[in-house]
Amino acid sequence: MLYSSLRSEADKLAAIAKFHASNCSFDCANRSVQIFGSAGYRKTARVARHFLDSRATIIYEGANEVLELKIAAAVLGNEYSSY
Ligand SMILES: Cc1cc2nc3c(=O)[nH]c(=O)nc-3n(C[C@H](O)[C@H](O)[C@H](O)COP(=O)(O)OP(=O)(O)OC[C@H]3O[C@@H](n4cnc5c(N)ncnc54)[C@H](O)[C@@H]3O)c2cc1C
């Protein structure tokens, strides 16, 4: 019982951490492209690489849209689970 509740809590916290960190990294990369202007948009620009790579983190290891549903169910209760 204890193990199961700790595991649920860890699942929820991991989902929140991944959701937050990946959104932050994409936001930073997006702003960096803006700061560098057209130079930031070039395919060879480092910020363009970060933009692309950080965008991928929103999709893999649990797509953020799916994590949102998981977090909502963990906070509101499993009766609100939609996956
Ligand atoms: C760069 C990169 C590296 C990867 N590396 C690996 C790897 O090493 N090993 C591995 O096994 N896999 C890897 N993947 C695959 C990755 O895990 C999957 O792409 C990811 O799980 C999403 O699955 P999908 O691409 O089938 O998208 P889908 O599940 O088809 O989803 C498509 C879109 O719909 C959204 N969506 C899905 N369901 C819902 C819903 N219920 N409500 C709202 N929106 C929803 C998703 O968020 C996504 O935006 C990698 C992917 C990328 C982009």
The domain spans of the chain are 9-80
Domain 9-80: assigned CATH number: 1.20.140.10
Block residue for tokens 């997006």: 30
With vertex at residue 30, the alpha carbon angle to CA 37 and CA 66, rounded to the nearest 5 degrees, is: 160
pLDDT tens-digit map of 37-83: 999 999 999 999 999 999 999 999 999 999 999 999 999 988 888 76
Please state the pTM of the whole predicted model. Answer: 0.90
Any residues with Cβ below 6 Å from ligand 1, and which? 56, 59-60, 63, 65-66, 69, 83
The answer to whether 64 and 15 are in contact (CB under 8 A) is no
pLDDT of amino acid 9: 94
Report, in angstroms and rounded to the nearest whole number, the Rg of the chain calculated over CA atoms.
Answer: 17
Both structure tokens of 4: 């199961």
Which amino acid, 3? Y
- Label residue 1 by pLDDT band (50, 70, 90): confident
**Atom 43, ligand 1: residue with shortest CA distance:** 65
